[in-house]
Every structure is written in structure tokens, then in C-alpha cells.
A and B are shown apart, each in its own frame.
Chain A
Amino acid sequence: MPDLFTHYIAARVPGTIVKDRRLLVLLILGTFLPDIAAKGMWWVLRCGDYFAVATHSVAGVVLVSYLACLFVAEPLRRNGFFMLTAGGLIHIVVDMVKDNMGMGVVRPFLPFSPRGVELGWIDPENVILMVPIDAALLAAVLLLERRLGRVRQ
């Protein structure tokens, strides 16, 4: 996974168009969900290597988002589900940029195809170098929101 800061920014930037801050939070939580689910399966449930890869597929994202949305209040649940799913799908796209020698850590088409897909733009050992770029993007988003007067205190 790229660091969660990169995932956060990847959801936060398009999130500027989301007016409801509750939904924005769910979009951001949605982008963390695939890694939270995967790490939970590895570290807490002690699952095998490939058990958790399902969390990094479109079907897995939809299912985990549905489970997560059940913990949201009923009036917000439907929109919350779409936000969580959108966040999860952003996560998958961001994970595709890593270069794992063509093997891919994201298997978007499970259960129809177990093949990994990757764009291979950045060495996984170097994703920390994205942090300054992320910080600049975050500053730009916060400034833009302040300008537009959409920041609620």
C-alpha cells in the first residue's frame, strides 16, 4: 500500500466537491477501508497471504463498504454506502501505481479473474517520497476551500 497520507489526499482532493461533511468523512474512511480490512485479516485474524487480497478488488470494496455502511445511521446509509465505495475504488486506483514487477497487488476483477493489475509507476519502497507532494496538495485544497468559503467551523 502507499502510505495512508497518499490515500487520504487521493480521496480528499475529489472530496472538495462533496458539500456534506459527513459524507466527506465517509469518503475518506472508505479510502482507508481496504487497508484496514486487509491488515485486520493479516494481523488480527492471521489469515493466509491471499485471503486478504479480496479486499483490494471491486467486489471486495463493495462488500466491505456495505458492511461498513450498516454502522451508519439509517438516513445516511444509502449515500454513505456510495461514498465508502467511491473511497474504496479510489484506494484501488492509487494502489495500482506501485511497481511490483508486473504482478500487481490489486486484483480488481475478483472473483471473475484473479490476475493482478498494476501501472508500475513507483517503487513501493519509495512511496514515502509522495508525502511532500501530498502535503502541497492538501495545502492547496484547504486554501481553495477557504477561498470558496465552504469550510465549516
Chain B
Amino acid sequence: MFGNKGYGWKLLAGLAVVALLGVYASKQGDEINPSLWRVLAEPRRWDGTTVWIPEAWLVSAGAQEYEIVRAESRLRVKGPPPGPVGSRITLRAVFRGDAPRLEALEARVLPWSNRRRRAMEIVSVLVLLGVTLNLLRHFAFRPQALHVAERIGT
């Protein structure tokens, strides 16, 4: 399994199994958390399904109802609005196909700015670069030095 015999076949088989797992997950994922456009396109099929919307814009609000837009899909949500009109929100809700509308289970406002997320991404890229450079320093540029150090136990 870990030898060099049939290396190419092992590589191909590994890639094929990863791809198949991805296709399977893709198929199953749509059943668990369908996209908003999908539930709107087939309201009867998805009636009663709980959906999680990671990001949407709150475009209008009443006391116990509000409207959200995600991509090009617009939908009414039953429940108190989590923030003022214009907020970026995330919510989990049950889809009702008869109206169609969502019944909010949980909703919260996302930070207006993506600054934190951007900072996180910059930190991540820096860490990845640092680890990669360290790896190259040890294994690509000075392999002999490393082997000598291992032999003498330093």
C-alpha cells in the first residue's frame, strides 16, 4: 500500500475515490441544506426543510416579518428582524412552500465590515507561507545538512 509498486495506479485510484466521495457529498449536501434558489424553484418539494443561510441582506422589516435577499433570491421571513434594514445577517429557518416563506429559528447580524475575516485570511496565508518556507529550508535546500545533523544527534 505504501510502496512504489504500482505508484501511478495508486495515485489514480486515490484521486478517483476522492472525486467519488465529493460527488456523493455534493448529492447529499443538497438534500440537507438546499440553496435558497433551489427551494424557491421547487417549493413543494422542500416544504418543511430547515435551511441555513450563511449570509443574506435584510432589505425590509416589519414588527414580526422581514424580507431577505441572497444572490438574486428574495424571500419573506416570519419572525422579529435581527437588525435594521440594510444589515448583513445569517439565519437558520424552516422553509414553508405554500406562501413561500421562511420561519426563522435563529438569526443574527453579521459584522458590517469584513475586516476581521480579511485579517484572519492574511494571518492564514502568512502562516502557510512560513510553514512552507521552513519546510523548504529543511528539506529542499539543505537535505544533506539535516542528515548529518541527524547522524550526529544534534
Give the interface of A toward B (CB within 8 A).
1-5, 8, 21-22, 25, 28-29, 32, 41, 47-54, 57, 59-60, 63-64, 66-67, 69-70, 74, 77-78, 81, 100-103, 107, 110-111, 114-116, 125-128, 131, 152-153
Contacts and interface: CB of A to CB of B under 8 A. Distances in A.
B131 A125 contact: no
Contact of B29 (A50, A66, A153): A50
A64 B15 CA distance: 8
A49 to B, nearest CB: 7
Given A21-B138, A60-B18, A101 B92 contact: yes
A31 B147 CA distance: 25
Contacts of B94: none
Contacts of A60: 18, 21
Interface string B134-152: 1100110000000001000
Contacts of A59: 21
B14 A3 contact: no
B123 A128 contact: yes
Contact of B28 (A32, A50, A67, A81): A50
Contact of B22 (A25, A52, A100, A128): A52
Interface of B is mostly: helix
B4 A74 contact: yes
Contacts of B128: 4, 32
A54 B2 contact: no
Contacts of A110: 21, 24-25, 28
A127 B120 contact: yes
Interface of B: 2-4, 7, 10-11, 14-15, 17-18, 21-33, 35, 52, 54, 90-92, 105-106, 110-111, 116-117, 119-121, 123-125, 127-128, 131, 134-135, 138-139, 149, 154
Contacts, number: 129
Contact of A50 (B11, B26, B123): B26
Nearest to B53: A101
A1 B124 CA distance: 10
A107 B29 CA distance: 10
Nearest to A100: B52
Interface core residue of A4, A29, A63, A77 (most chain B CB under 10 Å): A4
